[in-house]
Amino acid sequence: SIQQTRGIKTLNFGGSLEKVYERSDWPKQKVLDYFKDDTIAVLGYGPQGHGQGLNLRDNGLNVIVGVRKDGRSWKKAVAEGWVPGKNLFTIEEAADKGSIVLNLLSDAAQRDLWPTIKPFITPGKTLYFSHGFAITYKEQTHVEAPAGVDVVLCAPKGSGTTLRTLFLEGKGLNSSIAVFQDVSGKAHERVQALGVAIGSGYLYETTFAKEVYSDLYGERGVLMGAINGLFRAQYDVLRAQGHSPSEAFNETVEEATQSLYPLIGAKGMDWMYANCSVTAQRGALDWHQKFYDASLPVFKDLYESVKNGTESQRALDKNSQADYRESLEVELEEIRQAEIWRAGETVRSLRPENNKK
């Protein structure tokens, strides 16, 4: 594919020139040679730890995993082929053994376990993050870049689960990269190589702060929070006007996810518009500005809430509660039991591919 054959390029993104890095700049053998003397320690086995760890292992690198012994993540890692004492260790052991330490613990766990991990991040090592959270909000996390080590970031633009799935399909998620501290003078090339090794598509440059600001903003915005709110609002109005749950769901969610959004993903918004009826085109063109005007103030408030640390502090506070998993399940069950998503379960079951005998 084109992506596989191009290398470092400066490309035009909507009128702005940006440098990107692609897999062809780091062929597999070059990556293997580059890291031949390294032990890559993956701390945490949540979505990112799982996805990046398995991809690194499948790419032939010397990878170990560090998690709490005999905990849920430990048992999952064992089930997926990691061997205690060989490439599966406690967090402290893995951090000690690793020359490159991938801190892929949850944001709250990075804060809580930093005093435990920090003594093992000794001069000459590389400390790697996939989120700018801990370093950017250091007043809240107390995670400071240790002296004498390179501190880098590679942030896949999606979940670790998707990163793994696409890797197995020969594809890749795009990732942002950043260097916070370059002691060796080689931090930038090292994070490029790591980005390719974990299964990224192309890599683009950012900073730790910009990564976490855009990430938290996007998740609360159109990626998750805003889209859920818009789906609910449209569905509720249709139901209040007498439309059936099936019709309301199809006109709100099913058509979006199965028909229209894939067109946007393939060739852009204009392509989606061009492949709809004249009536649909006219309505969308007439109404999109009204939605823009209505939502812009909300998005401005959201970005400020992210930038000033309100969102990060709330996330840390909530995630640190002893009953967080239980309270989260209550919130998810509320979504699950909402009529819109119960209707969606039935709609999905009727898709031809889900109804094969």
351 DSSP 8-state letter: S
CA–chain centroid gap for 144, Å, is 23
Angle (CA) 219-187-139 rounded to 5° is 50
Task: Give the model confidence (pLDDT) of 279-316 as tens digits.
Answer: 999 999 999 999 999 999 999 999 999 999 999 999 99
Asked whether the predicted pLDDT for residue 191 surpasses 90, the reply is yes
101 and 129 Cβ atoms separated by less than 8 Å: no
Which tokens in the block code for residue 116? 């435990």
- Sheet harboring 88-89: ordered strands across? 9-13, 16-21, 200-205, 173-181, 150-156, 126-129, 100-103, 40-43, 63-66, 88-89
The dihedral sign for the CA sequence 173, 126, 68, 86 = positive
**Is 188 in the active site?**
no
Asked whether the predicted pLDDT for residue 4 surpasses 90, the reply is no
Name the catalytic one among 131, 142, 243, 288: 131
- Side chain identity at residue 101, one-letter code: V
Question: Tokens 């801190």 identify what position?
Answer: 103
- Residue 3 has what pLDDT? 37
Task: Give the model confidence (pLDDT) of 129-165 as tens digits.
Answer: 999 999 999 999 999 999 999 999 999 998 999 999 9
Confidence of residue 12 (pLDDT cuts 50, 70, 90): confident
Instruction: Give me the count of residues in the chain.
Output: 357
CA–CA gap between residue 326 and residue 47 (Å, rounded): 19
Confidence of residue 334 (pLDDT cuts 50, 70, 90): very high
- Residue 1 has what pLDDT? 28
